[in-house]
Structure 1
């Protein structure tokens, strides 16, 4: 049971936390400008800044007071009796599972399988390099940002190193010439089998799974996943072939031994942080299923 004063304070704190990330993006969008690093979480992922700003307590929490009446109109919320005349508002777990059961099941399989594997830390962010390999032939992503080593230098790095990307949604953006160079062949069908907890993109995608599970997953967990994805995105692009020094990002030079060591250290730290978030999402899935009507268990 969450008294009105408390859920109002939490909602306000959440909106301020979100604004810290979204204010610049919304201003740029209004002016028609783009940022090659920070815009990604709002353009690649389908959760809008407005959706992100909505505060959700998560399944199993009853919001008391008249201030929750608007939330009662949102999808997957319902009025519940709480022993008072006014009652309260809570996530409709049965309704959520009826609509999202398949997605919940897949999220559990994927996150559980990933959490059980050892982290592989030898990819060095080469997926971004493979996305512009032989870019003269195939076209270049982020065309507003130059390649740090030029086209020929970028191609040489790709050809000299062992590419082992296990993440399908990174691999699918490889240029046609780069795909045969990858030691693995990720597919959507093999996603549960292939994703592993050292992968930057698998760990960024915790944000995706958290927002897909909204409102059964609460906004505190969602924003913790978003914050991790934000910091991973920065490493991902600092280790990329793009020259982002004009945007304030010093490169992680993965073409050099010292740069690869720097990348692996950061990747390991992110992997450990992501595993904690992965376990928190799985624990909330347990809670959701525990709150489901007995006929669904």
Structure 2
């Protein structure tokens, strides 16, 4: 069915679009400056490369489904928009026909994730498992404890990763050490809200559902993902001091406590965004 649409005049929506673009530009300024000079960033590049983020698209403002924009000729030329005498809006029906399975998958995954207990016992060991007994590493950074010290930490701590897209990068020697041999097929059964990567992935799901999801939500998820990525690397075996970041020494009791506290904070903030994204999925389905 088609829901009644909120109508925004240009005087109403244009300041929102401008503020969104300015906020997005501020968040991506460092990346864009580095890109111009061909420089890399071992921490932040993850969000642009792994999630295929384009700053030019992140700064675009979309109101989401159920909102009609008056005098919005640019929006009318963008994919998934439709226009009539009333104005321009996301074509929820066309979006659902093309992406309905994705919307349903994301909504179900988020609901199941939200319903599970908070898991706080991994202590960020996924990054350690990715370099366990490795000859090559994903990041051009030194290991804080060296290779032998890193391997010893993995061998002294249980691996209890619940996120398949982290587990699939474990070294062949590390993967069998994980408590569960994760697969893509059982992702629905394993994701849990304490996982840092599950929270970072909220941005991925927003991006996949754009422009049917409000841009404010997508940008908030991106900002949180950027924070979480820093924590992820601070708790990793890599030496991130060159980025002005202190290590979270998860190989120690103090580091484990620090990491778990950060997990709780991230999970609480992620839970709010997850519920908003679930609501956005519901809105897409209802508007179709």
Q: TM-score range by the shorter chain?
A: over 0.9
With 263-272 and 4-13 compared, the bigger mean Cα shift is at 4-13
- TM-score, normalised relative to structure 1: 0.93
**Cα distance, 1:7 vs. partner?**
1.3
Partner of 2:146: 150
Partner of 1:160: 156
Which secondary structure state, in structure 1, belongs to the residue aligned with residue 99 of structure 2? Answer: helix
- TM-score, normalised relative to structure 2: 0.96
Partner of 1:295: none
- Where structure 1 has 5 or more consecutive residues not aligned to the other structure, the ranges are 82-86, 293-297
Which secondary structure state, in structure 1, belongs to the residue aligned with residue 67 of structure 2? Answer: coil
- Could you list the per-position Cα deviations for residues 240-296 of structure 1 after superposition, in whole angstroms to 9, with x for gaps in the alignment? 00001111010000000000000000001111111111111111111122212xxxx
Alpha-carbon distance in structure 2 between the residues aligned to 1:254 and 1:276: 27
Q: Is it true that 1:273 corresponds to 2:263 in the alignment?
A: no
- Could you list the per-position Cα deviations for residues 34-59 of structure 1 after superposition, in whole angstroms to 9, with x for gaps in the alignment? 11111111111023111111110110
Q: Is it true that 1:282 corresponds to 2:281 in the alignment?
A: no
Partner of 1:6: 12
Partner of 2:4: none
**Cα distance, 1:22 vs. partner?**
1.3
Partner of 2:75: 71
**Larger RCO of the pair (alpha carbons < 8 Å, separation 6+):** 2
Matches within 5 A, 1:47-86: 47-65=53-71, 68-81=72-85
Q: How many residues were matched structurally?
A: 282
8 Å contact from structure 2 (residues 64, 211) kept in 1: yes
8 Å contact from structure 2 (residues 104, 281) kept in 1: no
Q: Is it true that 1:193 corresponds to 2:199 in the alignment?
A: no
Partner of 1:141: 138
With 40-49 and 186-195 compared, the bigger mean Cα shift is at 40-49
With 47-56 and 265-274 compared, the bigger mean Cα shift is at 47-56
**Cα distance, 1:26 vs. partner?**
1.5
Q: Is it true that 1:213 corresponds to 2:209 in the alignment?
A: yes
Partner of 2:92: 93
- Where structure 2 has 5 or more consecutive residues not aligned to the other structure, the ranges are 1-6
8 Å contact from structure 1 (residues 166, 185) kept in 2: no
Q: Is it true that 1:44 corresponds to 2:50 in the alignment?
A: yes
